[in-house]
Amino acid sequence: MTRKLQKATLADVAREAGVSMMTVSRVIHGTGRISEDTRQHVRQIIEKLEYRPNRAARTLVTKRTNMIAFVVPDITNPYFTEILQGVEEFFWREGYNVMLANSNENPEREKALLDQLESTMVDGVIVCASRLSDDELIPLIEKHAAIVTVNRNLPHHLGSVVTTLHPRGYRAVLAAKYLYETGRRRIGYVNLVRSISSVNLEMFMHELEDLNIAVNPSWYATCKPTWQAGYDTGKVLLAQHPELDAVIAGNDLVALGVMRAAVEQGLRIPQDLAIIGGDDILMASQVTPPLTTFRSDKYSIGTMAAELLLRRVEGDLTYYEHHYDDVLIIREST
């Protein structure tokens, strides 16, 4: 059994089958008028030669790659992975492949990625939790034919959007409200770094004042959305502010890092410190005590984003907006 070095081309199949290339092409696509006999015969030759269409050639003429890109800040974050799974599943069924573009929480890299992707490589892009400011992001995506963003608003003509039901950043306010109702009075907040984090924080303080909840800027910190960052930030925050009786974190990974830091400092959870996370990753329900957090059906977020992208890829440039429900799931960490 020798290894096939040269792949068969359409021309090879056509020659072997004694028909024109177009006939073979038509058989492959199931288009045009072909007699049943010819069809069968061509199919046999395709099998025999193990012909596989050359994607690049096809792309060159059709301008379609059947590939979409998923741009994400951190592929090890389970939140994004589950979304990705939804996206992958959806597009697999539709005959598309998914290219992964991991910016590794690095805005410069995200830019480079988005810029590269322009090279006729993908039919569309899903941008997940972009770390870029509008001023940076917009010029980069203007050139793409089809865009959908997750957790990020966009000028309507640029692409469709999947976001939370609650306005971005408002979840922390809900969390604070709940904590206040359960008797907590000094509430810390570990926000996630992103372009709009300062806006987030201001709104947070403003709303808390309206609710008559104690506000103290030094109780609030900002960190990267990783477990390690949450742990480091929690350590400092809790050491400097032993008066805190609750902490809200931007996402679960950070919340769990803070929880670890708290435990190491001898705090009992929830007796001494209540903790709330943000996206209900698997780990949140598995730690002791289980983490109170906001529900998010990540797989659905993925399929919704994929569906919206497919519409744009197929030429429907209407703006659509999907919202996913993110209610508070109360567990034993509060």
Partner DNA sequence: TTGCAAAAGGTTAGCGTTAACTCATATAAT
Partner DNA sequence: ATTATATGAGTTAACGCTAACCTTTTGCAA
What single-letter amino acid sits at 252?
A: D
| Smaller CB separation from a copy of itself, 89 or 232 | 89
Cα 314 from chain centroid (whole Å): 21
Q: Which residues does 35 contact at the CB level (< 8 Å), separation at least 6?
A: none
Q: Annotate 163-196 with DSSP letters as a single string.
A: EESSPTTHHHHHHHHHHHHTT--SEEEEEEPSTT
Query: What is the maximal distance between C-alpha atoms in the chain?
Result: 85
Query: Which does residue 106 bind out of DNA, a copy of itself, none, counting CB within 5 to 8 angstroms by kind?
Result: none
Helices 78-93 and 298-313: crossing angle in degrees, nearest 10, is: 40
Q: What count of Cα atoms within 13 Å lies in the side-chain half-sphere of residue 160?
A: 23
Residue 284: CB minimum distance to a copy of itself, A? 10
Query: Which does residue 218 bind out of DNA, a copy of itself, none, counting CB within 5 to 8 angstroms by kind?
Result: none
Residue 113: CB minimum distance to a copy of itself, A? 9
Query: Which does residue 19 bind out of DNA, a copy of itself, none, counting CB within 5 to 8 angstroms by kind?
Result: DNA
Among 28, 75, 196, 203, binds a copy of itself (CB under 8 A): 75
Cα 106 from chain centroid (whole Å): 15
Q: Which residues does 50 contact at the CB level (< 8 Å), separation at least 6?
A: 4, 8
Residue 37: CB minimum distance to a copy of itself, A? 27
Among 25, 81, 195, 197, binds a copy of itself (CB under 8 A): 81
Q: How many residues bind a copy of itself (CB under 8 A)?
A: 48
Residue 121: CB minimum distance to DNA, A? 12
| Smaller CB separation from DNA, 22 or 236 | 22
Which structure tokens are listed for 249? 């974190």
CA angle, corner 42, sides to 36 and 46, nearest 5? 140
Query: Which does residue 81 bind out of DNA, a copy of itself, none, counting CB within 5 to 8 angstroms by kind?
Result: a copy of itself
Residue 36: CB minimum distance to DNA, A? 7
| Contact pattern for a copy of itself over residues 189 through 218, marking x by CB under 8 A | ------------------------------
Which structure tokens are listed for 48? 């025999």
Residue 19: CB minimum distance to DNA, A? 4
| Contact pattern for a copy of itself over residues 220 through 249, marking x by CB under 8 A | -------x----------------------
Say which residue the tokens 């590794």 belong to: 104
35: left (phi over 0), alpha (psi -120 to 50) or beta: beta
Residues engaged in binding a copy of itself (CB under 8 A): 3-4, 7, 50, 52-57, 59-60, 65, 67, 70, 75-76, 78, 81-82, 84-85, 88-89, 92, 97-102, 104, 109, 116, 118-121, 142-143, 227, 256, 260, 282-283, 286-288
